Each structure stands twice: as C-alpha cells, then as structure tokens.
Amino acid sequence: MDAIECIRSRKSIRAFKPETVAQDVLKEVISAAQRSPSYKNSQPWGVAVVSGQRKEALTKALLETLEGGSAPAPDIPEPLAWPPEVGARINASMAARGEHLGVDINDPANLVKAKRANFGFYGAPHVIYLYQDSELPLWSLFDMGLFAQSLMLAAHARGLGTVPQAFAIDYSAVIKKFLGLPDGKRLVLGISIGYPDAESHMNKFDSKRETTDDVVMWEG
C-alpha cells in the first residue's frame, strides 16, 4: 500500500491472533521506525520487545500490582483535565466506543476491566515498550511520538496490528524492574503488536476525525 493509504487505514487493534510474529519482521518494523526524524538527530528512543513466557510473567506482575490496590504511578502522569473543546471530543469518542461495545465506559468496574485488558496486552503475542533517558527535555517526547507513529505504520504495512497503550505504563517502576531498566529511564509507551483478529467485534469500531476544514487555517 502507498503511504497515504497506510496512514488512512491504520487503526488501533484490541484483539489479536495468537500466532507470533517472526523476529526478523519485528526487527524490520523497528528498523524502519529508526528513520523517524528527531531534534538534531538525537534519536532519543530505546525499545524493549517482550514475548512468550516473559510477556505472560509481566502480565502476571502487573495484574498482581493492580489487584493489590497500588495507585498508578506512570513516569508520564495521566492528564487530569482537558480544554473544553478537547474534552468534549474525548467524551464523544468514549461514548461511541462504549455504545459499540455495549458497556458503560464511566462505570468504575469497566475501568478495571479495561486495565486488565491492557495488562494482558489484548492477547497480542508481543508488547513493545518505548523508553528514553529521563533527563531528556520535553521535546524528546515529541520525537518519541514520531518514532511510535512510524513503528505503527511500518507494522500496518506488513499486515500487523498495533495499539498504543497509556495504561500499559501505569506501574512504571514494576515494568522497569522487570525489564532491568535503571530508574534514570523514562517509560513512555507500551504498544501491543501482532496479527489482528479481523473478526473480533473489538476491531470493528472506527473512531471519528474532525474535518480538515475544521483544523486548518489557509493563508494566501
């Protein structure tokens, strides 16, 4: 597929087939993402790929932490408030997803279920964690966003599905200890990756976008 089609057809996948992805394919996807632009070519990204029994052990550790009542402590704090226009957009999208799934998104019990699904990586055979030095400036988070998008597009071009997960870094200290990362690293994002289950109801939801004319100013 061409680049425009790849961007337009990519979507977040929340149900995966159990088959693993060959390591050379995962390496190709990550290698492609390494061509992402970054400030002064700083390349402020680190990548950890977790698969198989190690992934299952990580899921177990995260679920035990959740069920033990530990408060989330991500390296990047979850936003607590949004400007009204953005908040309305988020609320509308969440309501549409809840209607599609037949659940009340605002029910605290469903939030726990959502976290459990995130910590199980939606059944994906692999999870990719992105991290960087915590001393890096805020700009480097922008660069990591470029890397993450490139990785997900490269995966889509190879027939893989991905979903970027903020909940997946809820317990950063637990994850960094599991991965052997020092405290001086900043855990930025988890990305589940694998072959998408196209028949799953979870994957039949399409989030909406604003019209181009609503977000663009034309001058001249």
CATH of the domain at 24: 3.40.109.10
User: What's the domain range around 175?
Assistant: 3-78+120-206
Task: Give the single-character DSSP code of 70.
Answer: P
* Tokens encoding 132: 């960087």
Q: Please, are residues 99 and 204 in contact by the beta-carbon 8 Å criterion?
A: no
Residue 99 lies in a domain: no
Residue 153 lies in a domain: yes
Residue 155 lies in a domain: yes
16/200 Cα distance (integer angstroms): 8
- Tokens 């693993």 appear where? 20
Residue 106 lies in a domain: no
CA 218 to chain CA centroid, Å, is 32
pLDDT tens by residue, 181-214 = 999 999 999 999 999 999 999 999 999 999 999 9
Task: Give the single-character DSSP code of 89.
Answer: H
What residues pair up with 163 in beta bridges, in sequence order? Answer: 192
| pLDDT in the model for residue 140 | 98
Quote the mean pLDDT of the chain.
Answer: 96
Per-residue confidence at 104, pLDDT binned at 50, 70, 90? confident
Closest CA to 165 of 71, 60, 72, 61: 72
Residue 98 lies in a domain: no
* Cα–Cα distances in angstroms (integers) from residue 203 to residues 7, 13, 82, 100, 176, in the given order: 17, 6, 27, 10, 30
Residue 156 lies in a domain: yes
Given a cut of 90, whether residue 134 has pLDDT beyond it is: yes
| pLDDT in the model for residue 146 | 98
Q: Please, are residues 173 and 122 in contact by the beta-carbon 8 Å criterion?
A: no
| pLDDT in the model for residue 107 | 86
Residue 189 lies in a domain: yes
Given a cut of 90, whether residue 55 has pLDDT beyond it is: yes
Q: How many structural domains compose the chain? A: 1
Per-residue confidence at 166, pLDDT binned at 50, 70, 90? very high
Residue 110 lies in a domain: no
